[in-house]
Amino acid sequence: MVNKYTFKDDWFSRSTFLFEKYLSAYVGQPCHFLEIGTHEGRATTWLLDNILTHTHAQIDCIDVCILDVLSDNLDKTGVRNKVTLHQGSSTKVLRTFQFEEFDFIYIDGSHSAVDVLEDAVLSFRLLKNNGIIAFDDYPWNDARYSDGTFPKPAIDAFLSIYDHKIKLLHKEYQVWIQKVSN
Ligand SMILES: C[S@@+](CC[C@H](N)C(=O)[O-])C[C@H]1O[C@@H](n2cnc3c(N)ncnc32)[C@H](O)[C@@H]1O
């Protein structure tokens, strides 16, 4: 099948199997997802095509930079009305949502340790009970594209401190957890 979308980067396809495994229960459900770090919309368009199929399913997307190609790709989904874009840093935008609003949150924005930890802590409050958080790039450590800090220590700290409130679903290149208590 010819891909109708325009993408330059692919940081998503290697993990599609996890999105299928842990999110298939939301197909046809009026669920509410949040993506931190949307870029060209690779994950967003996949979620809209494959999981967010219910008429009232929605996704909020946060990015410091809303690319023209993202808007074009979202238009091509045919369900642009399901998407709310928020331009700004996650540290500000995450504070604008209601507690326990989301079924799934994908943390893939800033990769500096402080930002990943803050995204995780703020996202946990925004997640419904039994909701799921996925972190990308757990072992990523390319100093050329970082401030010298990386996701792993932040994710490890979150997993350790929230241990009694979460169930660990997966821990390899991505980390997936389910919220089991407030
Ligand atoms: C790895 S890309 C996201 C890839 C996307 N999830 C996908 O599946 O293709 C990271 C994105 O996070 C955004 N970003 C970086 N720091 C951010 C921050 N503090 N708040 C929100 N977005 C941020 C960048 O602009 C970039 O578009």
Which CATH number does the domain 103-182 belong to among 3.40.50.300, 3.90.1200.10, 3.40.50.150, 3.40.50.460?
Answer: 3.40.50.150
What's the Cα-to-Cα distance from 62 to each of 83, 96, 149, 162, rounded to whole Å?
11, 12, 22, 24
pLDDT at 75 over 70: yes
User: What is the residue whose two structure tokens read 């967003």?
Assistant: 44
pTM over 0.95: yes
**pLDDT computed for residue 3 by the predictor:** 83
| Per-domain boundaries in the chain | 39-83, 103-182
Tokens of 100: 């326990």
Q: What is the mean pLDDT of the chain?
A: 97
Atom 19 of ligand 1, nearest CA residue: 89
Confidence of residue 117 (pLDDT cuts 50, 70, 90): very high
**Residue 118 pLDDT grade (very low, low, confident, very high; cuts 50, 70, 90):** very high
Q: Which pLDDT band, with edges at 50, 70 and 90, does 2 fall under?
A: low
pLDDT exceeds 90 at position 1: no
Q: What is the maximal distance between C-alpha atoms in the chain?
A: 45
Ligand 1 centroid distance, CA of 50 (Å) = 21
Q: Mean pLDDT throughout 139-150? A: 94
Number of helices and strands in the chain (H, E):
6, 7
Q: What percent of the chain has pLDDT over 70?
A: 99
The helix, strand and coil proportions of the chain, stated in percent and rounded to the nearest 5, come to 40, 25, 35
Mutate which of 51, 63, 68, 91 for ligand 1? The one with the most ligand atoms within 8 Å of its CB, which is 63
- CA 62–ligand 1 middle distance (angstroms): 8
Q: Is residue 25's pLDDT more than 50?
A: yes
CA of 63 to the centre of ligand 1 (A): 6
C-alpha 114 to ligand 1 mean position (Å): 15
Through-space distance between the first and last CA atoms of the chain, rounded to whole angstroms: 43
Instruction: Tell me which residues have their CB closer than 6 angstroms to ligand 1.
Output: 11-12, 36-40, 42-43, 62-65, 89-90, 108-110, 115
* Partner residues linked to 18 by β-bridges: none
- Closest-CA residue to 167 (of 181, 180, 156): 180
Residue 166, pLDDT > 60, answer yes
Going from the Cα of 60 to the center of ligand 1, the distance in angstroms, rounded, reads 13
**For residue range 33-57, what is the model confidence (pLDDT) as tens digits?**
999 999 999 999 999 999 999 999 9
| Averaged pLDDT, 96-105 | 98
Among candidate residues 129, 131, 126, 150, the one with its CA nearest the CA of residue 140: 150
Per-residue model confidence (pLDDT) at position 113 = 98
